[in-house]
Amino acid sequence: MMGTRCTGRSRNLVLVYDIGCFIPARKGSERVKNKNLRPLGGVPLVEIAILQALTLFDPKQVYLSTDSDEIYEYTTKYGLGNLPKRPARFSRADSPDIQWVLHAIESLGDLKPRGFMILRPTNPFRSAKMLHDVVDAFEQNINRFDSLRAVQACSEHPAKMWKIAGDGKTLLPILPFMSLDGTPWHSQPYQSLPEIYVQNASLEIALTGRILETKSIAGATIQAFLTSNVEGFDINSEIDFVAAEVLLKNSSRELENSVIYRFLNGS
């Protein structure tokens, strides 16, 4: 099966590597109540993710993985690919991603794509250009990596982080390393520390076969895709949601190319 992609509102289809898109959106949320259905700019987060996906994929290549009847209705509204509702045992707050991913892949049977992208609704500010760039980067290295993951430079370096020992008092560094002159990393300026990256909710892509072999959504070899600014924005708390509302309301120049900004402004 060969996939298709579309660009912009005209939906001009061109060939793309055989990649599908999974949007995970279980009901409920512990940190942000009903997060996936909560509207930003009047559009629920899960619907924003669907709109983002449709700038790149044909609707039948996009699949909602959800245990919610209300969220599942978007499958019909947008004519998305048919995927059974996610079982409750794979929809708990502590359920690892590999459970729902394997459920989705196995449910598709012979229709499963050779690769898949994961778009989590917690990132509302993706642009169509970024999604296209990601697929292009993955295709160019398809024989080298099992997956691709979006990352960004850490704002807080792990060398400055600590854990508390069992006595409840003693601090132990997470990274107990030293420079050549014997200075502990935790006592060095940020500028002298190695660059460290943290994964964000922008997206992931993986080869289906390797995920089935390794039982990991990342496989064994992972390609980096560097993001910056709002590209890596992730809503995980009420403060994050308020920040997203402020960014959208103020029409920051950073958002001008985002799918949600263009959708709300009719461009």
Looking only at the bridges linking them, the beta strands covering 222-226 and 147-153 are: parallel
Structure tokens at 185: 């990393």
Nearest to 65 by CA among 254, 195, 53: 53
Q: What pLDDT score was predicted for residue 11? A: 39
pLDDT (tens, 9 = 90+) of the chain, 267 residues, equals: 334 333 333 333 333 558 999 999 998 777 788 899 999 999 999 999 999 999 999 999 999 999 999 999 999 999 999 899 999 899 888 899 999 999 999 999 998 999 999 999 999 999 999 999 999 999 999 999 999 999 999 989 999 999 999 999 999 999 999 999 999 999 999 899 999 999 998 899 999 999 999 999 999 999 999 998 888 999 999 999 999 999 998 876 778 899 999 999 887
Q: What pLDDT score was predicted for residue 3? A: 40
Q: What pLDDT score was predicted for residue 93? A: 84
Q: What pLDDT score was predicted for residue 12? A: 35
pTM above 0.95, yes or no: no
Phi, psi of 208 (to 5 degrees): -55, -45
Please name the residue that has the structure tokens 């959106």.
Answer: 25
In contact, 26 and 72? CB cutoff 8 Å: no
Q: What pLDDT score was predicted for residue 9? A: 35
Q: Could you give the CA distance from residue 234 to residue 262 in angstroms, rounded to a whole number?
A: 19
In contact, 116 and 20? CB cutoff 8 Å: yes
Q: What pLDDT score was predicted for residue 203? A: 92
Q: What pLDDT score was predicted for residue 17? A: 56
168: left (phi over 0), alpha (psi -120 to 50) or beta: left
Structure tokens at 265: 């402004």
Q: Which domains does the chain have, with CATH numbers?
A: 3-153+198-264 (3.90.550.10), 158-192 (no CATH)
Length of the chain (residues): 267
